[in-house]
Amino acid sequence: MLTLSHLSKSFGAMKAVDDVSFTVQPGEILGLIGQNGAGKTTTFRMILNFMTPDQGTILWKGHAFTSRDYDQLGYLPEERGLYPKMTVEEQILYFAQLRGRKAADVKPRIDDWLARFAVKGKRTDKIKDLSKGNQQKVQLIATLIHEPALIILDEPFSGLDPVNAGLLEDGIEWLKAKGAAIIFSSHDMTNVAKISDRIVMLRQGQIALAGTVDEIRQQFGRTKLFLESPLTQTTLEALPGVSRVTPHGQQLEITLTDEAVGPQIFELATKAGYIPEFSQQAPSLDEIFRIKVAETND
């Protein structure tokens, strides 16, 4: 288990990380979210020992990281870096050997990993001859091929199309099933909501939200309503407790200031009988992210 306790880091007068605490269990995926500059990458760098915290502790399985523990770690940085003149095989072997793995143990598994991420290229191809997307997948394989116990992925979905993003999600889930503790950052709340067991949102270096997706959404109440009925946009906008009505074809998306208004709208909408749709929900993770960011800017 990875445990961060009261972690803080400043650069001059700027406090990049301010009293941050969380844990990541084996077999768990933690989504670390926040605006650019919120403290995500600084947090990663302190875990990786690239930076020393000003305050707080970082423990792996109850003790400070040792060199052997770091060999069990996989890290994909936001800024990608590969050696363009190396072949795919040479690149993967190089990173595996840096983590203490023997080439003879890694070589037989390279083709399986290339197939898992649908890399378009052979193990003998040079990195510079691959497309940007395939280079990114090779670096991801180099990060994961030693099947690390702790995995840190900084914006792993950046630049991936939906198909390749799905392959990455499958790879992350596969490693989770094998017991890895996984932390990843992303600005795509769809990916975060889909694969995260828990989420931590950083805002100006502090934890603004923490919990499962459902726990976080329920904190905001069921203030989002989707309706298809005889009621018009004008009628709904005139109701107390309705802050916004957005049409989507026949469907109306209604934002409420109070979830208690929902039953009143249902009663009005069904006055004449059956309606095709009424769904009252908590806001999406993307909407919650925007709400918390807006609080920062107020």
For residues 146 and 24, which has the higher predicted lDDT (pLDDT)? 24
Rounded-to-integer distance, Cα 49 and Cα 28, Å: 22
The answer as to whether 61 is a domain residue is yes
H-type alpha helices, the chain: 40-47, 67-70, 88-98, 103-106, 110-116, 132-144, 162-177, 189-195, 213-219, 233-237, 261-269, 285-297
The residue out of 202, 217, 232 marking a domain boundary is 217
By mean pLDDT, which of 142-151, 152-161, 217-226, 278-287 is the weakest? Answer: 152-161
The answer as to whether 294 is a domain residue is no
Q: What is the CATH number of the domain that holds 59?
A: 3.40.50.300
Q: Looking at residue 296, what is its pLDDT?
A: 66
Radius of gyration of the chain (CA): 23
The answer as to whether 100 is a domain residue is yes
Q: Alpha carbon 271 to chain centroid distance?
A: 43
Judge if 38 and 167 occupy the same domain: yes
The answer as to whether 293 is a domain residue is no
Rounded-to-integer distance, Cα 133 and Cα 113, Å: 15
The three-class DSSP label of residue 95 is helix
The residue out of 217, 232, 253 marking a domain boundary is 217
The three-class DSSP label of residue 90 is helix
Among candidates 83, 77, 73, 187, which has minimal Cα distance to 135?
A: 83
Judge if 133 and 64 occupy the same domain: yes
Within a 10 A sphere around the Cβ of 155, how many other Cβ atoms?
18
Instruction: For residue range 196-228, list pLDDT tens digits in order.
Output: 999 999 999 999 999 999 999 988 899 999 999
Instruction: For residue range 6-20, list pLDDT tens digits in order.
Output: 999 999 999 999 999
Strand 224-228 relative to strand 251-256: parallel, antiparallel, unpaired? antiparallel
Give the pLDDT band of residue 78 (cuts 50, 70, 90): confident
Judge if 57 and 189 occupy the same domain: yes
CA quadruple 234, 238, 242, 244: dihedral sign: positive
Judge if 157 and 263 occupy the same domain: no
Taking 60 as the threshold, does the pLDDT of residue 171 lie above it?
yes
Rounded-to-integer distance, Cα 65 and Cα 49, Å: 9
Domain count, the chain: 2
The residue out of 217, 234, 250 marking a domain boundary is 217
What is the residue range of 187's domain? 2-217
Judge if 204 and 240 occupy the same domain: no
Question: b vs e for 248-274, b when ≥16 Cβ sit within 10 Å of the residue's Cβ?
Answer: eeeebebebeebebbeebbebbeeeee
Mean pLDDT of 27-54: 94
Instruction: For residue range 106-136, list pLDDT tens digits in order.
Output: 999 999 999 988 898 888 999 999 988 888 8
Taking 60 as the threshold, does the pLDDT of residue 298 lie above it?
no
Q: Please state the pTM of the whole predicted model.
A: 0.85
The answer as to whether 292 is a domain residue is no
Among candidates 260, 262, 214, which has minimal Cα distance to 236?
A: 262
Judge if 124 and 197 occupy the same domain: yes
DSSP 189-245: HHHHHHH-SEEEEEETTEEEEEE-HHHHHHHT-S-EEEEESS--HHHHHTSTTEEEE
The answer as to whether 34 is a domain residue is yes
